[in-house]
Amino acid sequence: MRQEDQGPFTRVRPFDAKRTCLLLIDVQNYVWNPDVAKRLPYFDSQVRDVVLPNLKQLIDAFRRAGAEIIYTVIENLTKDGRDRSLDYKLSDFWAPEHERVLLWSDPKLGIRWPIKGQPILSPRDAKGAKLAEAEVFP
Burial of 45 (0-12, 13-18, 19+ CB in 10 A): exposed
Model confidence pLDDT, tens digit, residues 83-95:
777 766 666 666 6
More confident residue, 60 or 35: 60
The arithmetic mean of pLDDT across residues 75-83, rounded, is: 71
Domain count, the chain: 2
The Cα 138–Cα 135 span in angstroms is 10
The Cα 62–Cα 15 span in angstroms is 10
Q: Could you tell me the pTM of the whole model?
A: 0.52
The arithmetic mean of pLDDT across residues 69-73, rounded, is: 81
pLDDT band with cut points at 50, 70 and 90 for residue 32: confident
Q: Which domain holds residue 33?
A: 16-97
Backbone angles phi, psi at 97, to 5 degrees: -70, -15
Same domain, 117 and 75: no
Same domain, 110 and 121: yes
Answer whether residue 4 is part of any domain.
Answer: no
Same domain, 62 and 26: yes
Q: So what's the pLDDT on residue 65?
A: 92
Same domain, 29 and 50: yes
Beta bridge partners of 102: 129
- Contacts of residue 92, defined as CB under 8 A and 6 or more positions apart, other chains included, come to none
Q: So what's the pLDDT on residue 58?
A: 92
The Cα 125–Cα 104 span in angstroms is 8
What does the mean pLDDT of the chain come to?
79
